[in-house]
Amino acid sequence: MSDAAEGQEMWVQVAGTGSRKAPLPRTEELTAQAIGRALAQSGAGLVTCGWNGVDKAATMAFAGELQALGLPLSTRLKQIVPRPDEPSFFGGDVVYVEKGVPEWVESVRRAQAVILIGGISGTYKTYQTARNEQVPVFPLPSTGGDAKKAFDEIMADFEGSGLYRRVTRAQLAALDTPIATREAADDVAERLLDLVTEELSGRRPVTATDRPKGPRERKSASKTKPERIDFLLVTALPEERDALLRRLPGFERVVPRKDDVHVYFRAALPVADGSGSYRIVVLPLLGMGRVNAATATSEAIKRWRPRHVVLVGIAGGVAARSVSLGDLLISEQVVDYELQKLTEQGIEVRWSVHKASRRLYAAALNVLGDAWTTSLTVPRPGEGAPRIHLGPIASGDKVVAVERVLTEYRSVWPTMIGVEMEAAGVASACFAAARQPEFFMVRGVSDLADEHKNTPRVQEFRAYACDVAASYTVELLKSHPIPFLKSK
C-alpha cells in the first residue's frame, strides 16, 4: 500500500517517456500537458521523477496552471530524482534517492495513483512497482509504448490485478481514445481525473506531511464533478432495458449513491471501424409517463453529462401511415399533446414540438446494410421483416388505444407515424439542462394504438418490438455517428 492515501486531497504520479535529447512525440506531449493542467485545477499534488519528456511536460503545465490560479508550487510538487542527476524542471520539493530500485519505489510510495503516458521501458517498471505496492494504475493506451503494454495486461486480467476498488473494467476501457488535438487531450484528462477521484474516494487520509495545499472549494468541486459520457440510453420498461443490455458486451451495474435513487448500467461500445469506443450509460425509468421520464432524465443529465440522450423502446404505430407490427419508428420530432385547453366546443391541444438531433437523424438515414435485422434474437411472430418509418411521433401521458384519437391528432400532424408516453418528458429535460444534450428516439412498434392493443395476437409482438428497437440503436451507435470528442 502506498504511503500516501486518500483524503480531501490526493497525490498522483505521472510517468512516461523520458529522454534527455529526443523531442517528445506530439500525442504524449499533449496528453502530459492536459493532465498537468487537470491535476492543478483539481487540487491534487503531482509526483514525477524529474525526467525530460513526459515528466517535464506535465510539470510545466501543472506549474503554469497553479501560477494562473495564484497558488504556490512548493507544497504541490514532489520530484523524486536519482543521484547525481538534477530534475529537468527547477522547483517544488526535490527528493534525491539512489539509482535503481529506490527511484521507482520511492516515487510510487508517495502517490495514491499512477498515470502512465507512453514509455520505453522505465515506465513499465513504474507500472510493475505500482502493482507490487497495490497503487491503482491508469495507463493511457493511445499514447503507445509501456502505457499500452500495461493497459493490455490489466484488461486481460482486470479482476486479478487487484488494483481497483471502485473503478470498473468498462470505465478503464473507455480511456482507450485517440488523442490528436489539445481538445481531445483535455477531454481524456478530465475523464481520467474523474476516475482517479472515484477510485480514491474510499481510501484512508494522506499523512500530514504528504498532504498538498490548495483552496478547499476547488478540491471539493473536483470530488463532486460529474462524469461525462457520450450516450445516455433511456428505457421505460424492463423488457426494453433487457433487450438493450443484451447488446452491450461487458455492461456493469453502477454502484449506488446516496444522492440518487436511480439504477444505472454502464458499458463501453466499440464502433465498427475500430477507431474507439463510446461511453454509454443505460437509465431504466422507475415508471412510464412524461413526469417520471423528465425527473429521472434530469437527474441523470446532472450526474453523467451526456452528449446525447436516446430514448429506446416500444410504441404504438399509425396504421394509416402503413406502419405494421414489428416495424421501426425513428422520430424526426416529438409532438407533445398533453397541454390542452378545455372549451365549449371540446378539447383544444396546445402542441409543443421537440426536434430530434440532426446529427443522429442524418446518421440514421444512412445506416448501410441489414446488420441490425440479422442480429435480431427474438423470433418474429409471423412472416415479413421490419420496415423503417421516419416522421413525427406524438407523446403524452395517456395510453392511446382508440383509433379516433389518432385520427384527430393526424388532422394536425398528417405524417405522424406513432404515439408513446415518455419522449416529451425526456426531450424537455434535455432542453432544460444547463449543458443541453441532443435528444433522439428509436421505437419498435408493439401495437397500432387501437382497440386491438391488448389482444393476444398483438401482444406476441411486444418482445420482438423491443428487440427491433435495441438492435437498431446499437447498430446505429456502432456506425460511428458522432465524433468521439465534443469540440470546445
d(Cα 282, Cα 229) in Å, to the nearest integer? 11
Average pLDDT, the chain: 84
- The confidence score (pLDDT) of residue 451 equals 79
Q: What are the tens digits of pLDDT across the range 122-161?
A: 889 999 999 988 999 999 999 999 999 999 999 999 988 8
Higher pLDDT, 343 or 34: 34
Q: Is the pLDDT of residue 244 over 50?
A: yes
Query: What is the pLDDT averaged over residues 163-176?
Result: 90
Q: What are the tens digits of pLDDT across the range 423-474?
A: 988 998 898 887 789 999 999 999 988 878 778 888 999 999 999 999 999 9
- The confidence score (pLDDT) of residue 343 equals 61
- The confidence score (pLDDT) of residue 401 equals 46
- The confidence score (pLDDT) of residue 223 equals 42
- The confidence score (pLDDT) of residue 3 equals 47
Strand partners, 82: 97
**By percentage, how much of the chain surpasses pLDDT 90?**
40
Query: What is the pLDDT averaged over residues 406-433?
Result: 84
d(Cα 466, Cα 347) in Å, to the nearest integer? 33
Question: pLDDT-derived band of residue 218, with 50, 70 and 90 as boundaries?
Answer: very low
- The confidence score (pLDDT) of residue 367 equals 85
Q: What are the tens digits of pLDDT across the range 289-312?
A: 878 889 899 999 989 999 999 999
- The confidence score (pLDDT) of residue 1 equals 42
- The confidence score (pLDDT) of residue 287 equals 83
**By percentage, how much of the chain surpasses pLDDT 70?**
86
Q: Is the pLDDT of residue 348 over 90?
A: no
- The confidence score (pLDDT) of residue 148 equals 94
Asked which of 192-196, 214-218, 367-371, 412-416 is least confident by mean pLDDT, the reply is: 214-218
Query: What is the pLDDT averaged over residues 60-86?
Result: 84
Grid cell listed for 33: 500537458
- The confidence score (pLDDT) of residue 381 equals 92
- The confidence score (pLDDT) of residue 205 equals 38
Question: pLDDT-derived band of residue 399, with 50, 70 and 90 as boundaries?
Answer: low
Q: Is the pLDDT of residue 407 over 60?
A: yes
Higher pLDDT, 284 or 211: 284
Q: What are the tens digits of pLDDT across the range 259-295?
A: 889 999 999 999 999 888 999 999 999 888 878 889 8
Give me the amino acid identity at 467. D
Q: Is the pLDDT of residue 341 over 70?
A: no
